[in-house]
Structure 1
Amino acid sequence: MFKQRDYTLRYKANCDVEVILPNHHVMVNQPLIDHTSFAVLVWNIFKQKRADCIHILEEYAPLTKLILLQEAQTSVQLLNFINLNNKIADHVPAYAFKDIYAGVMTMSDTLPTALLSFKEKEPLIRVPKSALITVYPIKNSTQQLLIANIHAINFSIGVKIYRQQMYMLLNRIKEHNGPVILAGDFNAWSRQRLNLLYHLIRSIELKPVNFSIDIRKTFMGRPLDFVFYRGLQLDEAKIISTTSSDHNPLLVNFRLD
């Protein structure tokens, strides 16, 4: 259906799907956030394979400004959720099967002013992983909020391709003058990957969100899901325990500095 390599699919309530090509910029008058606290939900939704995952989204949609999903599939149920909750969903399809697209998806209540999508093929299984940067206006500010949503390379020998994927994303973040949230499934399951990840996020002055009760999905004893930030104050962070995916959602509240 869609042949361009670097494109994003946009879903909006009561609208046909829109193909967003690189260097797409729009004039947006409606800010996403102001100086009050706002919440972000981050979740690898496991391709919506398990019951009740949409119920989790419905429960937290009214409480969040942003929903960052990994392994989001464009199922009828998810598209209905977007429509019924009047969300704007930008989706980077890593792959497609029978017109069902899967990849990272960022949902918000307002249009981003800019976006940039990334894909990187798994070196062993050759199935791509995707990432997405979206930028949103802030009320009464010349700065904008950058959101980076990533599903990192999983199956590789060494960290060469993992580092390459991170560099592509972090180089864009480094250039941004304003608050940043970087979140998703980083697949940092080895000591080498975890050390590299922390080295890279420190190099662009991001801080990790820590959880007092840490029930994140782990592999080989290490957590896979992270939230990093800068230019914001952390108000609260918790993890939602659920069997609706093989990952637990992360719910984080921020406010502007």
Structure 2
Amino acid sequence: MKKKWLLAIPFAVVAVAITSYQTVFTLPSESQLSSISGDKVELSLQCYRNQQAKILDVNGRIDLLVWNIYKQNRDNWQTVLTQLSQNKQLVLLQEASMTSSLQSWIKQQQWFGSQVDAFKAFDTTAGVLNLTVDTPNLACAFTELEPWLRLPKSALYATYPLSSGESLAVVNIHAVNFTYGTQEYQRQLATLVKELTEHNGPIIVAGDFNSWSDARLRVMRSALNRVGLQEASYQPDNRTQFITGLPLDHIFYRGLTLETAKAPISDASDHNPIVASFTLKDKDVERPN
């Protein structure tokens, strides 16, 4: 009798774990996107479109913030995010949890938000988040399931009109992490690169690539090289590193001039942010008098 009880224990543990998982996490049946503006959160399946979007750059300049915000788990996230996002035209966040406090902050700062609904934890949506003053022309959600944790990692492909008459394609990525080998990692990047191959204008690809191994770095760089992207160099470079000494966060770009890029130290997340400034290459861009 005791033996039967002992044999039942592992099955009971698994049953409890599955029940707990299903209680905490909810996964959408397909990729979907939330658009956040003021008090409104509108859900759309995979893509949002608005052909009347306003120009993203300011006098040919694009100031960018890239940051894994760690689900806003640190007490000072709001103060630091306000400081870092000041005067930015584009904010790309990873591990954003759409809590009431984050939604209130977005409203207060008068941002338009596009977030991938990768999954919900206790009914709170989590995924990558783009913040801009106005809407994108197009924003599409992409997810890739973590093979071990069974939770999706997310990426957002968006386009924004520029004063040069071109369109900027932006990929905000939180790459799959816990894998044996690089198959899922490669598949996630390949899906996004396929979208980028159809874009003729400038491109920014940035986020938390979870590039903690040499194999992952090779896959990442090989994929992005196929669409002619180059990586920003950072001064200072305090990007968060894995125990291997390899940085996890990156900015890649094409068709823009990189003016500055830096990764300052911050205690408001488990990742340090990256701040960069670009200018458009088109000589006909309207400049201030």
TM-score (norm 1): 0.95
Deviation digits for residues 208-239 of structure 1 (CA, Å, limit 9, x no counterpart) = 01113211111121000000000100001111
Q: Is the 8 A contact 1:32 1:65 kept in 2?
A: yes
Q: Is the 8 A contact 2:235 2:263 kept in 1?
A: no
The equivalent residue for 2:179 is 156
Counterpart check, 1:126 vs 2:138:
no
Question: 1:33: Cα distance to partner?
Answer: 1.3
Percent identity between matched residues is 35
Unmatched segments (≥5 aa) in structure 2: 1-25, 282-289
- Look up the equivalent residue of 1:145 and give its one-letter code: L
- Look up the equivalent residue of 1:218 and give its one-letter code: Q
CA distance in 2, matches of 1:23, 1:185: 22
Moved more, 75-84 or 64-73: 75-84
With over 3 angstroms needed to count, the CA separation of the structure-2 counterparts of 1:56 and 1:100, relative to structure 1, is same
The equivalent residue for 1:213 is 236
With over 3 angstroms needed to count, the CA separation of the structure-2 counterparts of 1:88 and 1:190, relative to structure 1, is same
CA distance in 2, matches of 1:50, 1:171: 36
Identify, as 1 or 2, the structure richer in helix. Answer: 2
Q: Is the 8 A contact 2:160 2:168 kept in 1?
A: yes
Aligned length: 255
- Look up the equivalent residue of 1:190 and give its one-letter code: S
Counterpart check, 1:10 vs 2:46:
no
CA distance in 1, matches of 2:235, 2:223: 24
The equivalent residue for 1:86 is 110
Q: Is the 8 A contact 1:89 1:105 kept in 2?
A: yes
Corresponding residue to 1:199 among 199, 204, 222: 222
Q: Is the 8 A contact 2:70 2:94 kept in 1?
A: yes
Q: Is the 8 A contact 1:34 1:138 kept in 2?
A: no
TM-score (norm 2): 0.85
Q: Is the 8 A contact 2:175 2:188 kept in 1?
A: yes
Counterpart check, 1:108 vs 2:127:
no
With over 3 angstroms needed to count, the CA separation of the structure-2 counterparts of 1:77 and 1:169, relative to structure 1, is same
Corresponding residue to 1:236 among 260, 267, 272: 260
Corresponding residue to 1:137 among 155, 161, 173: 161
Question: 1:61: Cα distance to partner?
Answer: 2.6
Counterpart check, 1:187 vs 2:187:
no
Question: 1:192: Cα distance to partner?
Answer: 0.5
CA distance in 1, matches of 2:84, 2:280: 21
Unmatched segments (≥5 aa) in structure 1: none
SS across alignment from 2:191:
helix
Deviation digits for residues 29-67 of structure 1 (CA, Å, limit 9, x no counterpart) = 521115432210000001111111111111133320011
Question: 1:201: Cα distance to partner?
Answer: 1.2
